[in-house]
Structure 1
Amino acid sequence: MAGKPTAKKHRQRSTLLTVAIILVILHGIFMTVLYYSGMGGSGSSPVALSLMVLASIADVIAGIALWGWKRWGIYLYAAATVLKAVIILIYSLSAITVFGVLVPAIVVLYIITPRLKDFD
């Protein structure tokens, strides 16, 4: 049984939201390369570096999903951020560095929050 075709919502992305999503993607790409090359965590455990690479890849995927108005991108971005914060806390015990991970994510999520209804 075929369902009725759904009309596409016309969604206009604000400049601020566009910049935030692009920065999420670019930051994820940059950090993936940095951690994968081993430069992002000299002296860190291979497990921690591997998890940080995965979390950074998740950021890129989440950014692409956010660009496509997919709600699961918000959840993936939040989960990747929490994973990075936990890894940093476990391996470096640096609250300042954890804030460095959490604050940008909080800002991005703050920018996205008014547009939650537009995400599928």
Structure 2
Amino acid sequence: MQYLLLIYRNEAQQSRMDPADYQKLLAEYGAYTQSIVQSGNFKAGDGLQPTTTATTVRVRDGKILTTDGPFAETREQLGGYYLVDAKDLDAAIAMAARIPGARHGSIEVRPVMIYK
């Protein structure tokens, strides 16, 4: 079954990180990514640009409305994702727990709907 592991973190906190600590974090993400690629669980994954680059789109009464930034103001922002294959939710949770961002942010684990 496929699961989307959504990585939430505090952008303000991350922007204040010491450059050496940030490089260490990137290396940890690289090692994690390699481990799930090698295990065969990796389907896709990427980091996202900061929320300051986001645009939210809504259609109301046939009109396209856009606003800068994310839909909601929160303490944690969506920073990236992994799409993985896992035998069950417990296996997906175990993968999510190994994501470096889980130590300071949160990882949302969501099953993917597969349309046939």
Q: Per chain length, whose mean CA-contact separation is higher, i.e. which structure has more relative contact order (CA < 8 Å, sep 6+)?
A: 2
* TM, length-normalised to structure 1: 0.34
The structure in which a higher percent of residues are helix is 1
* TM, length-normalised to structure 2: 0.35
